[in-house]
Structure 1
Amino acid sequence: MKPNRRDFLRGCVHAALGGVSAYSALGSLGLLNAAMAAGTGTIFPDYKALVCVFLHGGNDSFNTVVPRDSSHHAVYAASRGALALPRQDLIAIDPLPDGLPGDTAQYGLHPQMSALAGLFNGGQAGIVANVGTLVYPTTQQQYQQGTVALPPQLFSHEDQANIWQTSRPDNANAAGWGGRIADLLHSGNPNQAQSMLVSLESQALFQRGDVVNQYVMSSYGVEEIGYLDSWGNDAGVTAFNALRQGGTQRHVFERAYATALNSSITNYEAIGAALNTAGDVGTAFPNSRLGNQLHMVARLIKARNVLNLRRQIFFVSLGGFDTHGSQQAVHPGLLGDLSQSLKAFYDATVELNLGNSVTAFTASDFGRTVSINGDGTDHGWGGHHFVVGGAVRGRRFYGRMPSLAQAGNPDDAGYGQLIPTIAVDQYAATLARWFGLGESGIDDVLPNLGHFASRDIGFVTI
């Protein structure tokens, strides 16, 4: 693969730093930062946020978006057996004439997803069909004959979740595509000392950048170092603060630790103060793990002007989608939480007059198999995803809905694992372009994008 601009700049800076001490190298990371983040040099005049909602375990999107006309539902029901949802229970969605699924079928959402169905029918949500990790467009014949490169370790949770978040199946050490976007755009924020990357789920690979460090917090607020506020501990606090003074440590690792610690303290003090100043949103959120995370994201967006940020990327998650068994007992509650939480979050952005400025999108390890294993499904490949926001060209399907036939299915890699027809690269590029990344930056972040015919799926309005 040809080298990209990011790799070239990194190599030049590393070469320039060769032969100097380790401390000088670490102290010169500002040079790397300036080179890597160089862009137009212009502060963004508007505000935009991306929110990745990661569904850990692999969501069964074929019981999320389900055919509801009699002929297509019959094919689905034959493949799904005991897990098939009755036609009459599905919540009808009504795509626009230019957004039909392309297979003549009519679709509905899972019975627990009325809130998200309302967003779709209202034009604030779209469905991106059969997305997955790919190196090149892949047909059934190419897959079975091994004539096209494939993502490594297909159907493995950890590997596929990682590739979804990096979109680099060729590089196991790559940073996340959210982090790489931030590396190129953070210079457009007025306050560059504050990270534009916030994860509500510990350290997220999606948010890992080469230059910009993600800030990790909980849905209940910032995590503080309680030791610094311990009553009657003045001597301890004085000693602690002396140890973390910049540039005073003898060992390179001690200096790196002190730098990271000081950055964390500065960040949590700034974010905590901004949250207090901005106050809460009025929109009610579900009292669930995902609902609480998205509630905090809404509060952080409300505090954007206090933090002086014009671009932010957030990562939230919901687990439990690895439904090998008991799917009928587990899956409805997960989809209900997803639906209600996304609706509340969209309502909060409208409350903040930012409905067109915030786009949320789902991601997951992979889809599930069309075939079942009794009362559950197995690891699949392609799956359907939702994009939500005022900038979304909603009430539309994007891409081609796959066949759900159990036998003679040209979309089936084998064992009911459907081959994706939209690559994560294309999904990511469409979001990155809306977010403000130029074409050369998109190529830097997504070097495999050129393998696919379309660079933009078209589900957001620029």
Structure 2
Amino acid sequence: MKDRPISAPTRRDFLRWAAGGAASTTAFSALSSGPLFAAAAQGGGGYKALVVLYLAGGNDSFNLIVPTDSSAYNEYATSRQNLAVPLNDLLDIAPATSDGHTYGLHPAVPELRDLFDAGRLAISVNTGNLVRPVTRAEYQASSVALPPRLFSHNDQQAQSMRVRADDGGAIGWGGALADHQAYLNGVTSLSPSITVAGSTPMLTGAATQAYHLGTSGSVSLGGFNGNTGAAIQATFDALRGQGHTNLYQRQFAQTRAEAIELDGVISAALGAQTTLQTEFPAESKVSPQLKMVAKMIQAQATLGMERQVFFVRMGGFDTHAGQLEDQPVLYADISASVAAFQAAMAELLMENQVTLAVVSEFGRTLSSNGQGTDHGWGGHFLAVGGAVAGGDLYGTMPSFALEGADDAGSGRMIPSQGTDQFAATLARWFGVPDIELAVMFPNLGNFATNHLGFMG
């Protein structure tokens, strides 16, 4: 571990900020005031990247993986009614560990089935926002702590992205990973966390801020082109270069200068890379974002990055109506886009260094409302990559009976494992030691294990 100045925050400072959300702007400014990319990588173990694909709206993943043995399928079909996927249409899979049932994937995801069969995809079943484990009886009696405002889109999205579901001020678990990397390597001008989908609580850090990319690359300042562009640029540079006595003016000028410099660095790094041969789907909501992430990963050595967290987003999953028409289209897009991204990582020889996680704010109701599903709770998350212990299901499938042991009411399945555990499993692979996981994720100690086992 490198020496640090006496005034620099400690590792525990970073983790304490992550757990409590007590971000320090002063500390961030002090750490980020050095020259561009001045900190040498000290994390060890080579490059790693976590890519979070967020399915906004609440993914009805109970149609993504379906039991195919007769007794379990009949229970599923009875509960799902008109939304049940026909048994003969399902794509058979053979999980490495049997729970006594057989399963198949939605017919629109043949590429995901191939990744599962190849040991590159793992499914974290019935996962969702929890403060601690809860049973149906405990939920009905309100006898244990629960995430506040369950079944609300805005609240559950924020909670699913934070290091604790019961603290509105806590930072995002992607931001916490970036903070951890910043402690090891120093805060560089290019943040370890990058979003290609706009602002997100997922990448809110205590000592780091997410860098925003567009699907075409770095987003440059506008207004400097055309006949008057040169004059505007000169005026802007003159204003920026003045010796400002006001602290806020000086900080704004410095931030602008770093943004302009960083835009040039990233544009040059991306432009220096060879063209990826992997073809991404042309008609896709999410492929342009994943393709840009792939290009940034290709340029990571040029940019001097050791660890990175990326955020991409796909909407359209709030399927109260039209689910039978919309869900196959959404799933086909996910399947083809994720497979293309994985192929790009193989092309770059980065399969083992990059893990893609597919998550959502909640699952949807097991019951049908006639045209679709309503806001639920537990659902299935995915992990894809060469370091994933794929080809298996992790966790316990819920009962598919309405008003059964796992139904909180109205077909909302109670999660059997928490989002914290899923995120901590990825953090462990990312390089966060076990001893620090409980500090980074304060509610983790409420669960039987701090990792779910799907990372090899």
| TM exceeding 0.5 | yes
What is the CA-CA distance between 1:173 and the residue it aligns to? 2.0
Q: How far apart are 1:124 and its partner, in Å?
A: 0.6
Q: Does 1:359 align with 2:358?
A: no
**SS of 2:365 mapped into structure 1:** strand
Q: Equivalent residue for 1:199?
A: 195
Give the stretch that moved more between structures: 25-34 or 435-444: 25-34
Shift in CA distance, 189/306, structure 1 to aligned 2, threshold 3 Å: farther
Secondary structure of the structure 2 residue equivalent to 1:361: strand
The secondary structure found in structure 1 opposite 2:217 is: coil
SS at match of 1:297: helix
Match of 2:42 in 1: 42
Q: Distance in 1 between matches of 2:304 and 2:41?
A: 17
CA shift for structure 1 position 33: 9.3
1:406 & 1:28 partners in 2: Cα distance?
50
TM superposition shift of 1:220:
1.7
CA distance 1:232–1:108, change in 2 (3 Å): same
Q: What's the counterpart of residue 317 of structure 2? A: 321
Cα–Cα, structure 1 residues 286 and 190, in superposed 2: closer, same or farther, change >3 Å?
Answer: farther
The equivalences for 1:267-416 within 5 A come to: 267-287=262-282, 288-407=284-403, 409-416=404-411
Is 1:94 aligned to 2:94, yes or no? yes
**Residue-by-residue CA offset, 1:195-232 (whole Å, 9 max, x unaligned):** 11110101121111111111111112221113234444
Deviations 1:145-200 (A, max 9, x none): 01101001100001000001013223212221101111111354599332111101
Cα distance change of structure 1 residues 406 and 318 upon mapping to structure 2, 3 Å threshold? same
Secondary structure of 2:179 counterpart: helix
Distance verdict in 2 for CA 1:190–1:159, change over 3 Å? closer
Which residue of the partner structure matches residue 214 of structure 1? 210
- Residue 76 of structure 2 corresponds to 76
C-alpha distance after superposition, 1:237-287 (max 9, x if no partner): 2221132238x3344443343333223222221111111001331111112
Task: Give the SS at the match of 2:352.
Answer: coil
- Partner of 1:126: helix, strand, or coil? strand
- Residue 114 of structure 1 pairs with residue 114 of structure 2: no
User: CA offsets per residue over residues 5-29 of structure 1, 9 Å max, x none?
Assistant: 4476799xx9xx9xxxxxxx84883
Answer yes or no: is 1:235 the counterpart of 2:231. Answer: yes
Is contact 1:219-1:296 (8 Å) kept?
yes
- SS of 2:358's partner is strand
The equivalent residue for 1:153 is 149
CA-to-aligned-CA distance 1:46-101 (integer Å, 9 cap, x gap): 111100000000000111111112211110110111111100000111111xx23x
Structure 1 residue matching 2:374: 3-state secondary structure: strand
Alignment partners' CA distance in 2, 1:209 and 1:28? 10
- Determine whether 1:184 maps to 2:180: yes
* Larger displacement relative to structure 2 (280-289 or 73-82): 280-289
Identity percentage of aligned residues: 41
Q: Secondary structure of 2:279's match?
A: coil
Tell me how far 1:443 sits from its aligned partner: 2.3
Is residue 57 of structure 2 the alignment partner of residue 57 of structure 1?
yes
Q: Distance in 1 between matches of 2:227 and 2:304?
A: 33
Letter in 1 for 2:70: S
Cα deviation, residue 411, structure 1: 0.3
1:47 partner letter: Y
Aligned-pair distance for 1:437?
1.1
- The equivalent residue for 1:30 is 30
2:43–2:181 CA contact under 8 A, matched in 1 = no
Q: 5+ unaligned residues in a row in structure 1: which ranges?
A: 18-24, 35-39
Cα displacement string for residues 342-368 of structure 1 (whole angstroms, at most 9, x for unaligned residues) = 111111111111111110011101000
Q: Is the 8 A contact 1:42 1:188 kept in 2?
A: yes
Report the Cα offset of residue 371 of structure 1: 0.7
Offset of residue 438 of structure 1: 1.5
The equivalent residue for 1:21 is none
Structure 1 residues 283-318: Cα deviation after superposition (integer angstroms, max 9, x where no partner) = 111121211111111111111111111211100111
Q: Distance in 1 between matches of 2:316 and 2:191?
A: 29
Whether the 8 Å CA contact 1:197–1:207 is kept in 2: the answer is yes
How many residue pairs end up in the alignment? Answer: 437
Distance 2:276 2:306 in 1: 19
Choose 181-190 or 128-137, whichever is displaced more.
181-190
Contact 2:32 2:188 in 1 (8 A): no
Query: What do you get for the CA RMSD once the two structures are aligned?
Result: 2.5
Distance 1:243 1:162, change over 3 A: same
For the residue of structure 2 that corresponds to 1:237, the secondary structure is helix
The whole-number CA distance in structure 1 between the counterparts of 2:216 and 2:155 is 30
- Matching residue's letter, 1:77: A
What is the alpha-carbon distance in structure 2 between the residues aligned to residue 213 and residue 232 of structure 1? 33
TM-score normalized by the length of structure 2 = 0.90
Change (3 A) 1:191 1:7: closer
| Structure 1 residues 274 and 33, CA gap change in structure 2 (3 angstroms) | closer
Relative to structure 1, the CA distance from residue 123 to residue 232 in structure 2 (aligned partners, 3 Å threshold; closer, same or farther) is: same
Give 1:37's aligned residue. Answer: none
Q: Equivalent residue for 2:4?
A: none
